[in-house]
Structure 1
């Protein structure tokens, strides 16, 4: 199916991303998997190519020209990363696509000058601290607190399942500053991980996405100043809701690109793998199955492309972002489960990409708000 939302500039950018991945990333995938994380050399190399600065204005070292923001470049980058693996798209997405808008749109000039230049180069690695051990998707009830003490804030609490958490230098932390206000009493802070009182747990042992660095973190009487408050006091929940649609669209773009790559590889496998004297792709069951999967992928692509176009124009609604997130993760998992089946026993072997992709995809129905939460948002919009 021909896609019409990208022009020559976007496709030229896509080629530069592909060349970078082939040269700088794919030779090191085994190392990333063994280390359960991307090394700083990767981040510096990505920063040197400008891939970490798509949301950052040129005056702070980014790629964003005045008045020229175009989310379609973000989507192209995400697609190409996800075609390599989901962990890569997740880690880079958190830094460049999800945390960066907080640092650009909610910060003071002093904060932007302090954080954004090293952020664009990969010298300052970012993460976001929303999820807590006992809260999950219920962000309005988070328990981490920040109590004012003169010109400082004292933060206590913990976060979990934090992508880039083990190697991050700066974490945007959501903390409760006015407990009596409930959701309206949450604020955001830029917490530099070198601060006394910041502690990391172990790298979490996940079912999939071995290349991704995911950690628990805790704050014990950690002090930050008023200069580290991101955005107005007690507006953190509103800000998180404001930026979640882009995060969920990022997830949707990655979900489908990942699934389509493995589906393409599975179609090729069906042409080459023989059973009972002929390629398995010639069996009617396999033909019908692959026809269904390709059609489902194409239909899903049309909706996601529509959402990308809407977001680039500033028109994407939170409800459409929720639809894209839950549907794409569902479709991704369905496609990859069938791809494993087509590969037979080989599909269950970790040495085959399809097996690793199948494991990597499962969490996409949980993170960025579980699919059940997405359906609740859609249902509420229906007046239910």
Structure 2
């Protein structure tokens, strides 16, 4: 089965990592390096099986190729998963062993934080490899990449609001956020500042409690299904992938779906199902690119103002995708895929959009050669 998954995904390289001394079991997947080194985070998750972990890392790394291309970055798609419970199995020794595997790829893969990994973890990984980003500022890094991931999702949401309702604001709109971890909590703050009403849910009761403690005006519901059934303007998945399965799509009462979770679509047919119900979907790999913009900027000598400026350009990028989809009779997911494929096929020689999120501004510092 594992070989079949690799063949179907069309990846350049898949590396299985094992270190018995520390208990490390990990998989690094490089989907494409045609635009540059594969860039993508490391997910630490208690997968039910190796095949489940492999299927996830293949999906995630493939999506990173599109995300990095749409963001205008000179990076291909890569991703890694560590199999285990991060609360129980994560140790400094295991992270250092993982860092040695990343280093062994010689710069073909650049890692960062993802679900289950944090800035402090990347600091440890970086003790063994030059190719760990998302490190703490004290270690020369950009810090928590959820800062710009949330900003990018908010800009994408503003763009969809402009496209659907004629105003680039969520003021007076009801937004349902499924998942209030690192990204979802920061997105909540952007939305409240913009004047939106926010309803949340999370499988982690403590995460909900922390958010409500800071923002008592936010309402919480039991689960994502209950959230989807509410009268919402925007449904925003911000946890693990596969949030938009058939049951959720059928239950949705929102006009817009826009969130930070990776791989939200449960199947290839989901975009058509959403379109048939009149739901406008902002492709996840387009709007959640702020995090990779942030960590990739570490390779330039990190500048938050520069990275945030590139992230705000997700607003125009999202508008362009939605307009292209309407003009060509496509779903936004297909329109975004085609634009990403066009840039990948060009080898990055031409930008894909005016005002692309990853363009180096005048006076900016180009990325170093890391091939």
Is TM-score (shorter-chain normalized) higher than 0.5? no
Compute the TM-score of the two structures, normalised by the length of structure 1. 0.26
Larger of the two Rg values belongs to structure:
1
Compute the TM-score of the two structures, normalised by the length of structure 2. 0.27
Which structure: greater helix fraction?
A: 1
